[in-house]
Amino acid sequence: MKKNNKLLSIYEVVIFLFILFYRFIVINKFISYANYINIAFWLLISISLIIIRGFPKDKHYFKKTSLKIVFIVLLIYFIVTGILGLFTGFFRTVYSHTFISIIKNVTPIVIYIIVIEVARYLLIRRGPNKLHTAILCILFIMHNINTAVTSIDFSSQESMFLILSLIIMPIISRELLFVYMTKNISLAPSLLYHILMDTYTMVIPVLPDLGNYISSVCLVFIPYVIYIQIKRGLKLKEDYAGYAKKTILKVSSAVLLIFFIILIILVSGVFKYKMVAIASDSMNPVYYRGDAVVYQKIKPDDVQEGEILAFQVNNQLVTHRVVKIIYKDNKRQFITKGDNNEEIDRFEVGDKNVVGVVKYVVKYIAFPTIWFSESTEEVN
């Protein structure tokens, strides 16, 4: 035990020195290589620990259940924040979302996450005492804050508050959860949580604009929810399988309920967004028959040329692109055209016809609606 604690002390000193090296040298002189330096350091830590101590077996009776809990809680988080976005709006991420771009963006992040979580597992898994566990937890918190905050504006209270609420507090909450799960269960749940939460913004093109306060509360609260669920399950060792089934059933039901609530809200158009089915190919290749589009309700004054307009003509909703805006007899008219059509639309579209502007496309989801509508028309 003393030998183990002495070895941990050496690694703790090495990690602390790396944190200082990163803060005062890497950030100032080698910031473009920061991710590669991080990967190399934690890879060396992992390899050296495996050579010295071996790789402990990652087996635990609650491992699979904890993975399911982490996945379902995060899935609920994504769905709930998506619902909130219907009220608060959405924004486009800065990342390119072609397949190649996603791979290029995600790969180095995933590699970094794997090496640091393996290092955490090798350091914490083999029963360090409470003091060393606390020290390692603090070091991981310091390191993650170090990598997340490259510059701090001490002259601005607002900047300090944002860093505290959006970065420091969520990191503390997350790292406490990671240490708990790694020490008591497995490497896998921390790895799953870390990868999903750090890469989804690179995969999803639009995100809900929740504001700083709601975002901070969510990021601090999620690890706590997962911790409570896992801790409760660990106490029920004799009946953990039954607990897992009940928990997963409840959470799955909640996910399905939330999913249907979102669909109802979008289809009803009660709030600022509404979903409609596309029954023609006039807008190929932007979207196709069988897709659904979500449009945002908007005032005619805010419509711009080039946007895809949702408008009512002859009791039908049409979604075509605005190619020109003209004024005739002091009245505004929108000249529209389907991207796949050779000619502009012949009907007049004025302010009174405007419904909204298309923002998002959901692939294939509208086929059941179209098939049902067409079969009803045939019967009639």
Inform me whether the pLDDT recorded for 79 exceeds 90.
no
pLDDT at residue 175 is higher than 60:
yes
pLDDT of residue 43: 95
Can you give the three-state secondary structure of 269-317, one letter per residue?
A: CCCCEEEEECCCCCCCCCCCCCCEEEEEECCHHHCCCCCEEEEEECCEE
Residue 13 CB neighbours (<10 A): 11
Task: Provide the mean pLDDT of the chain.
Answer: 82
pLDDT at 83: 75
pLDDT at res. 239:
54
CA nearest neighbour of 43 among 109, 110, 118: 118
Confidence check: pLDDT of 323 > 60: yes
**Residue 180: both structure tokens together:** 């708990």
Q: Is the pLDDT of residue 238 over 60?
A: no
User: ∠ CA 332-336-338 to the nearest 5 degrees?
Assistant: 170
Domain limits of the chain? 2-266, 273-379
The predicted model scores a pTM of 0.66
Kindly give, in sequence order, each residue whose CB lies less than 8 Å from that of residue 344, ignoring residues fewer than 6 positions away.
Answer: 323, 335, 336, 337
Residue 349 has pLDDT above 50, yes or no: yes
CA 242 to chain centre: 30
pLDDT tens for 57-74 read 888 888 888 898 899 889
CATH fold group of domain 273-379: Umud Fragment, subunit A (2.10.109)
Burial state string for 327-342 with b = 16 or more CB within 10 A and e = fewer than 16: eeeeeebbbbbbeebe
> Is the confidence at residue 376, as pLDDT, over 60?
no
Mean pLDDT, residues 329-342 taken together = 90
Looking at residue 152, what is its pLDDT?
59
Average the pLDDT over each of 9-13, 27-31, 351-355 and give the range with the smallest value: 27-31
Cα gap 112→43, rounded to integer Å: 9
Q: How many residues does the chain have?
A: 380
The pLDDT of residue 379 is 37
pLDDT above 80 (res 286): yes
More confident residue, 246 or 19: 19
Out of 95-109, 155-169, 249-263, which region has the weakest mean confidence (pLDDT)?
249-263
Helices 63-88 and 188-203 sit at what angle, rounded to 10 degrees? 30
pLDDT digits (tens, 9 = 90+) for 106-132: 999 999 999 999 999 999 887 678 888
* Lowest pLDDT segment from 45-49, 165-169, 303-307: 165-169
Q: Report how far Cα 77 is from the mean position of its chain's Cα atoms.
A: 9
CA distance 34 to 151: 14
Percent of the chain with pLDDT over 90: 30
Backbone angles phi, psi at 296, to 5 degrees: -100, 130
